[in-house]
Amino acid sequence: MKTAVEKEDGILAMIAGTIMNQPNEWFSLEVYKTEEIYKEHLKTKHFKKYLEATKYVVESKGLHLLKPDCIMDQG
């Protein structure tokens, strides 16, 4: 995620963490400016390296496309 945010334009947010009381389950939220930017992210060397590095530790993945109404940051 750090590499993607540093090297790619159009990433609005990348957040990851474990699910409460389920430390083996991780959740990531990635917000891209456009669908095209997301598709370009999938082609990057660092994303492909991530897929290769995690292929034996990730049991399943899912993708949910959201249409945000409002995104806020309290940080």
pLDDT at 27: 86
CATH code at position 50: 3.30.70.100
Which positions ≥6 away from 8 have C-beta within 8 Å?
A: 37, 40, 41, 44
Task: Please give the model's pTM, rounded to 2 decimal places.
Answer: 0.77
Q: Is residue 15 part of a domain?
A: yes
Write the pLDDT tens digit of every residue in 35-52: 999 999 999 999 999 999
Q: Is residue 75 part of a domain?
A: no
The whole-chain average pLDDT of the chain stands at 88
pLDDT at 75: 66
3-state secondary structure of 46: helix
13 versus 66: the higher-pLDDT residue is: 13
Query: Which residue segment(s) compose the domain that 9 sits in?
Result: 2-54
Q: Is residue 40 part of a domain?
A: yes
